[in-house]
Amino acid sequence: MKYVTVSRRQWISTAAAVCCAAAMPRATRAAALQVPTVDSLTVKVVTDSSYDTPRPQTNKWVRVERVPFVSRADYRRALHNEWGLSLGLESRIGTDRRTMMLDFGYTPAALMNNMEIVGVRPEQLQALIVSHGHFDHYGGLVALLQKYRDKLPADLKLYVGGEENFCIRKSQTAQPGHFSDFGALDRRELAALKVAVVPCEQPRVIEGHAFSTGIIQRRSFERVLPNTFVDFSMKDGLGCNMPAENAKAEGKLAPDNHLHEHGTVFNVKDRGLVVITSCGHAGVVNTVKQAMEVSGIDKLHAVMGGIHLFPAPDDYILKTIEELKAMSPDVVVPLHCSGPGFVNAMRNIFADRLVTSTTGTIISFGAA
């Protein structure tokens, strides 16, 4: 993925969109929600950027396992690391269990190879979640569905942040004014595979065990760091149906403001909220605050996921950690796009809360 410097005019356009979102009525921003409480949650890191040796990490709050990097069935098959993220989610309330997937990495080959090694069985999946419309988070989705659709629930649901998930996205090249494709989540393919798309612009409970933050309000110092550009038009059924936004952008590409990105959250019994940021373009602090407002729960047990600080300057990273410390999480588990700057700063400032993770890590929260 390429990250670019945007013009002053483009940033003004983005800021205007964000200000409009902040002005939305409170009921739209964070509807009251009766959130479920799970007894336990296990997160399996199916795809991330690197692999560490199978060494457990002791922590009084969580149990950390790391699967061997090779398949037990065939030593010639190893875990694949790539730019992207995919997580298997297994939760329990009493004897009631849910198995879901959050994001699907960059390539089908890595996703399906790693699912077998990490222990995420397609036939056990009950629901799917896409955090936002970047290809490195949904790249393996359609191929997974094509291969295993007959083993999945007939009424399978895919929870997405909103219409903007389906927009065509572009990355700016080294040549000014020129862009390369960065894909689009194709609703036509999902419809053909009989997948019910559930928008999460507003907070909602997911499968009786988790909840979506809905649109994440921008209420901290954080800003969307420059990344992709968005085409708000639809062409032959591909793209997003957002004529007002397209008119505002005068039919041109616009900087991605990530209002469609939502967080996935679990409330773990006697622990508190586990906030999964996936990529965190809206800001990890904003995402946690949104989860707290939506649920009415202030106890933060864990922050896990991409925090998108790899392009951030040092002072921005330090400010983020300062804000995180003020919210007193028991553990912080940076993944994907968090960046070495953030991990190293955490080791220096907040080491007792840091849990490192790579492809093949399994983290369990709450009762066994």
CATH code: domain 8-21+40-71+87-268 is 3.60.15.10
Count CB neighbours of 199 within 10 A: 16
- pLDDT value of residue 232: 96
C-alpha 5/C-alpha 191 separation (Å) is 36
C-alpha 103/C-alpha 75 separation (Å) is 27
C-alpha 213/C-alpha 225 separation (Å) is 20
- pLDDT value of residue 228: 94
Tokens in use for 315? 């002072």
DSSP sequence for 72-124: SS-TT-B----SS-EEEEEEEETTEEEEEEEEE-S-HHHHHHHHHHHT--GGG
DSSP 185: -
Residue pair 34/296 in contact (Cβ under 8 Å)? The answer is: no
* Prediction pTM value: 0.90
**236 Rama class: left (phi>0) / alpha (psi -120 to 50) / beta:** left
Summarised one tens digit per residue, pLDDT across range 165-190 is 999 999 999 888 899 999 999 999 99
- pLDDT value of residue 368: 63
- pLDDT value of residue 32: 67
Give the burial class of 19: count Cβ atoms within 10 A of its Cβ; 0-12 exposed, 13-18 middle, 19 or more buried. Answer: exposed
DSSP sequence for 290-328: HHHHHHT---EEEEEEE---TTS-HHHHHHHHHHHHHT-
In the predicted model, residues of the chain with pLDDT beneath 50 are 1-31
Distant-in-sequence, close-in-space partners of 221: CB < 8 Å, separation ≥ 6: 285, 319, 323
- pLDDT value of residue 177: 85
What is the domain partition of the chain in residue ranges? 8-21+40-71+87-268
DSSP sequence for 188-254: HHHHHTT-EEEE-SS-EEETTTEEE--S----SS--PPS--EEE--EETTEE---HHHHHHTTTS-E
Specify which residues 181 forms β-bridges with: 170
